[in-house]
Chain A
Amino acid sequence: MNLRPDPTFHASPKLAMQAPVENYAFTVMLSPDGSQSDGIAVIDLKSDSKTYGQIVHQVIVPNTGDEFHHFGWNACSSSLSPLSGHAFLERRYLIVPGIRSSRIYVIDVKEPLKAHIHKTIEPEELFAKTGYSRPHTIHCGPEGIYVSCLGGGGKDGTDGPPGIFIMDCETFEIIGRYEMDRGKQDKHYDFWWNLPQDYMVSSEWGLPPQFENGIVPEDLLSNKYGHSIHFWDLRARKNVQTIDFGENYQMALEIRPAHDPTKSYGFCGVVVDTTNLQGAIFTWWRGEDGTWQAKKTITIDPRPEDPANLPPLLQGFGAVPPLVTDIDLSLDDKYLYVACWGLGEMHQYDVSDPMNPVLAGKVELGGIARGTKHPNGKGFAYGPQMVEISRDGKRVYWTNSLYSTWDDQFYPDDEGGQMVMADVGENGGLTLNKDFYIDFPKGLRSHQIRLEGGDCSTDSFCYPSV
């Protein structure tokens, strides 16, 4: 407990944008075959430092086979609401789940160069207390830390529906399940919320047998992955509305609500439309009558390609699907970044009018049957994937691995983990930074990035930007 609120807590998104820039990044390192231990790489982002853009510390866990994926903070700017009662928490711990092992590590990063494991929660404890498995998205919210899980109980995670559980934000004890009434929700992926407006939105990837050993083409072509998003009365823990995008909109993944809490809209990325291989972004919003609406506002076309250049999985289609696998919204709610992991492109959309996004910038890097090189001449395995934006919106960082088994299906010839950064122009536009290129240690891939002091996909704000 501090005597003053943590200096990285900001009342509004605008104040967070004006705060000092990030000094470090924390990036997941994962061993795709479980032959090594996974870890968190601490990366120096101080532009005047001799070790700028290098991994300066690693927290390597003692187990193997965890498969790190997403992770998050124990506390964020939402602590500045008196309603939370947590104004004096420190933003100090990263909650890092193993999506394959269901083990959860709490890593103390108070001193980034001495970051170390603070606590480990074994999978058995998670199973016993929640009946959930495969923990994924982390957000700090009312009552503690919320964690979404992709699996239910049982060996293959299909015994009962997956859902969210709550963890104490000081002791990291698992408290129990979140849901009181889950309605139609039977799959899970991401979730986020608007705390003052008291709603939560959750999304769907698929059940563990649909992703753990690779994508199941038959399931995809018969539209069996998730295609709905769920709206919740956050504090009543009740699913109040489910919107089905349509069964062809397979894999509704990242949920990105507007950061300004006065706004009642957000975005959700859909990996692939099975009717035409397009990638899609839906804008969801609360209508005049209080019910939720959603509309497809961005489509990204596939690129025709000679089947000879394609992995076996895609040869029948003769095209490269964009594969929208991650999206991220800048703190001023102006730019939405869309990772097209299949095409090998990072798109920047001006979403000042959320119903009419306009493509403002684009970077090509990697990609199926294209493999665009980085401006420094080096290769980039797979395509742009997990994307994180600096608080001030001027730098966009991303890594390249989607998920171990899926990487191997879509990019059978690629291997490696990279993290790059692009600079954002004054009036939009995106340019890869020639000097920022991190090659991860051999045998390790990279996934989600967290920025010291918070970033554009962690903090929830309880006061509007004025």
Chain B
Amino acid sequence: MLEDMTSVTALWGAVILSGIYHGINPGMGWPLAVSAALMERRHKALPRALAMLAAGHFVAMIAILLPFSLMIFLVRWSVEIRIGAGLLVIAMGIYLLINRRHPKILARVHPARLALWSFLAAMAHGAGLMLVPIFLGICAVPPEDAGHVAAGTLMSGNVGTAFAVAAAHTLAMTLSGGLIAAAVHAWLGLKFISKTWLNLDLVWAISLIAVGAFGVFSAYSGH
């Protein structure tokens, strides 16, 4: 029981950490909040832009997590689903590793439609997929209890968990990205953007593979 608690805590930690990871990555949008505040010459534009980016990201997380939370009622196949999900995330990582091109569709989005852009950027980069193995880990029911819980209860619980995971992740992302955006806007200056932007494409793809592998492994080992 205690062991379960710690692993669940660790998984929630991973949800928060992945949020921070997405948040500090300029490619996920915080420089757009700086630009918005400067373009409109108003501080208020910064939180508004961040809120739009957050909304898009949150919807992208939910869009990926929700189908998995609904699938979990197939308790009998939960291990298979978790392995399948892990393999899917690994596949996305490998795809991004091989295809290093940026999706052109993102450039067609109007610059003011930050929520839409954020949604598409998260989808295109598999940001939601990165959460799936962690999410399934949190939802995992110890095998001996599986028979006693009604599928309906389990499903509604998992839907709630999906929203909680997406919300916690997006909150962490928005706070970390927002902190940097505010600091750049107020003190650090625009030079910070080009000076600190690191090409995370490779790291990102490897992260997906690692998270996917973790998903497959934890499904096998029963956590």
Contacts and interface: CB of A to CB of B under 8 A. Distances in A.
Interface of A: 1-5, 7, 9-12, 15, 80-88, 142-144, 170, 195-198, 235-236, 261-262, 462-464, 466
User: 3 closest Cβ contacts across the A-B interface?
Assistant: A85-B102, A142-B107, A11-B190
B41 A262 contact: yes
Contact of A80 (B31, B38, B111, B198): B31
Interface string B14-53: 0000000000001111011011001101000000000000
B101 interface: yes
B221 to A, nearest CB: 36
B148 interface: no
B74 interface: no
Given A4-B197, A463-B193, A85 B38 contact: no
Nearest to A5: B194
Interface in B182-211: 190-191, 193-194, 197-199, 201
Interface of B: 26-29, 31-32, 34-35, 38-39, 41, 100-104, 106-112, 117, 121, 190-191, 193-194, 197-199, 201
A459 to B, nearest CB: 13
Contacts of A84: 107
A82 B27 contact: yes
- Listed residue (B31, B35, B39, B197) with the most chain A CB atoms within 10 angstroms of its CB: B35
Given A4-B198, A5-B194, A5-B197, A462 B110 contact: no
14 contacts: A7-B194, A11-B194, A82-B27, A84-B107, A85-B103, A87-B27, A87-B199, A142-B108, A144-B104, A235-B107, A463-B38, A463-B190, A464-B38, A464-B39
Contact of B108 (A2, A143, A466): A143
Nearest to B114: A83
Contact of B111 (A83, A143, A466): A83
B144 to A, nearest CB: 48
Given A83-B107, A262-B41, A9 B32 contact: no
Contacts of A1: 100, 199, 201
A10 B32 CA distance: 15
A82 B26 contact: yes
B109 A235 contact: yes
Nearest to B202: A3
A87 B35 contact: no
Contacts, number: 95
B76 to A, nearest CB: 42
B100 to A, nearest CB: 7
Contacts of B109: 83, 235
A85 B108 CA distance: 11
Contacts of A3: 198-199
Contacts of A80: 31, 193-194, 197
Given A3-B198, A262-B39, 8 more contacts: A1-B199, A4-B199, A81-B35, A82-B26, A88-B199, A463-B38, A464-B38, A466-B38
Nearest to A14: B190
Contact of B101 (A4, A170, A195): A170
Contacts of B100: 1
Contact of A15 (B27, B106, B111, B190): B190
Nearest to A9: B194
Nearest to A196: B111
Given A198-B111, A262-B38, A463-B34, A83 B117 contact: yes
Given A143-B107, A198-B110, A464-B38, A82 B191 contact: no
Nearest to B29: A82
Contact of A85 (B32, B39, B106, B110): B106
B43 to A, nearest CB: 13
- Listed residue (B28, B32, B38, B101) with the most chain A CB atoms within 10 angstroms of its CB: B38
Contacts of B103: 85
Contacts of A143: 104, 107-108
B108 A463 contact: no
Contacts of B28: 82
